[in-house]
Amino acid sequence: MANVAVIGAQWGDEGKGKVVDWLASRADIVVRFQGGHNAGHTLVVGDTTYKLSLLPSGVVRGKLGIIGNGVVLDPDALFSEIEKVRAQGLDVGPHNLRIAENTPLILPLHPALDRAREAARGEDKIGTTGRGIGPAYEDKVGRRSIRVCDLAEPETLSAKLDELLLHHNSLLRGLGSPEFEKQPLLDKLLALAPRLLPYAEAVWETLDAARVAGKRVLFEGAQAVMLDVDHGTYPYVTSSNTVAGNAAAGAGVGPGAIGTVLGIAKAYATRVGSGPFPSELFDDVGRMLGEKGREFGTVTGRPRRCGWFDAAMVRQAVKIGGVNGLVLTKLDVLDGLKELKICVGYKVGGVETRRLPAGMRAQAAAEPIFEVMQGWSGSTFGARSYAELPAEAVKYVRRIEELVEAPVMMLSTSPDRDDTIALRDPFAG
C-alpha cells in the first residue's frame, strides 16, 4: 500500500482537515511537514468540533502524530492546543505525538518582529497572521534558529541567544519596537526543556522503520500551492514550500516515500488576506458563498474573500504540486444557484493565457475568462454516492476534471466526516 500526501490546490482553507481526518482512519502515522500555527484545520466529529493548528489531524483518530522538521514550532501554542483537545477528551502525549529534534522554535521575538513589519508596510501589508512564522523561517535559513535539540544543551542556548538577539533587536530598533533581553528568554527556554524534550526524537528513523514495516503514512500539508513561497502569488504567500515535494525534506524521508498526492480544492474559490484573486466576486453571489460556506479563517477568524472556481489556477497547482487526483469540497454550497461560472484562463495586457503570471503587476492585472454552466436545483448536501447527485452537479465535476487535467478522486458534501464520496482509494497507489 502506498503513502499519501495531502496539499491544498488553491489558497488554503479548502477543507483539508476533514479530508485528512477521513484518510487518517486508514493510516498508521500522520505527519505535519511544513508551516506553523498560522494554519488551521477544523474537524467535525459528531457533535464535537476540533480546531487544530499544530497537532497532526491523526491525533483525533488515536494515530501516531509527527511534527516534522519542516514545521516552525511555537511551544506555547503547542501546549495550549494540547490542553484544549485534552479538555475535549483526546489523549495526547509523548506516547502518540513525536516532534523532530531538529525542528526550529518560534520565540516571542518572532511574532513581535512579524507584527512590527506588517505595521510598517501600511497599506502594502502582506496579510500575515502576525504569529512569527516568516521571521522563524528566516532564522532557519540564516542558520541562527534555536531548535528543539538545543534545549538539551544550556551552553548552546546561551550562545545562540546572543546571536539571535543581535539580529532581531537591531531590526526591532529600526522599526521603533521594544527590544528583548536575553535572561528572560533563556529562563523561558530552560523551563521549557523538561516539558518539550520528552516529545523529541529523530523522526526520520521512526519513519524509516515505518517504511520497512509496511505501515501507511499520511503527510499533512498546510496552506496551499498558491501560497508556496516559490510558486505562489509572491509576495502574498506563506514562508514555506507547501508543495508535496517538500513532504520529503520536511519530514526526513526520500522523495519516493511520498506516494499518492491529493490536491484539495473547494468547488468555488476563497482567499484570506491580501493578494491577487482574479475570480473574486463582490456581489450577492460572493456574499452568499461566504455566508453559506461559513467562510471565516480557522486561525485568523477573518472573513474569506469568495469567488468562482478558478480552473486555470488549480491546473497550475496540479502541475507544480505533483497532484495525482483532486478532492473537491463544499459542493453543497453551490446548491440552488441557477448559473455557475468557471475561470478557464486570464487576459493579461490583451493576451489570453492559461497560467497565472509570476509578476506582481501582471497578477494584479489578470482578468478572468469565464465559462458559464447551468446550476442545479436539487441538493448535494450529505450525498455519499454519485447516484445521489443531481445530473448538473455531475457535469460540473466532470468539467472541472477536464479543465484541471486531473481526476476527482473524492467529493465532500458536508462538514461531517462520513459525508464523503470516495471514487478511488488513495492508499492503493
**For every residue of 285-350, which 3-state class applies, written as one string?**
HHHHHHHHCCCECCCCCCECEEECEEHHHHHHHHHHHCCCEEEEECHHHHCCCCEEEEEEEEEECC
What residue segments make up the domains of the chain, in order of their start? 4-101+199-260, 109-196, 265-428
CA atoms within 13 A on the CB side of 405: 12
In the prediction, which pLDDT does 332 show? Answer: 94
| Catalytic residue check, 168 | no
In the prediction, which pLDDT does 1 show? Answer: 54
| Catalytic residue check, 13 | yes
In the prediction, which pLDDT does 427 show? Answer: 86
Which CATH code for domain 4-101+199-260? 3.40.440.10
Which CATH code for domain 265-428? 3.90.170.10
**What is the pTM assigned to this prediction?**
0.93
Identify whether the C-beta of residue 336 lies closer than 8 Å to the C-beta of residue 371. no
Beta-carbon neighbour count of residue 37 at 10 Å? 25
In the beta sheet, which residues pair with residue 411?
Answer: 328, 421
In the prediction, which pLDDT does 215 show? Answer: 95
Positions in the chain whose pLDDT score sits under 70: 1, 297-301, 429
Identify whether the C-beta of residue 81 lies closer than 8 Å to the C-beta of residue 92. no
CA distance 355 to 404: 11
65-77 pLDDT, tens digit per residue, is 999 999 999 999 9
DSSP for 2-18 reads: --EEEEESSSS-SSHHH
- The CATH architecture of the domain made up of 109-196 is Orthogonal Bundle (1.10)
Query: Which residue, chain included where needed, has cell 499519501?
Result: 4
Report which secondary-structure segment, H or E, holds 195: helix 182-196
Catalytic residue among 21, 37, 41, 150: 41
In the prediction, which pLDDT does 399 show? Answer: 98
CA distance 223 to 124: 21
CA distance 40 to 273: 15
Least Cα distance to 354 among 301, 316, 392, 383 occurs for: 316
Report which secondary-structure segment, H or E, holds 197: none
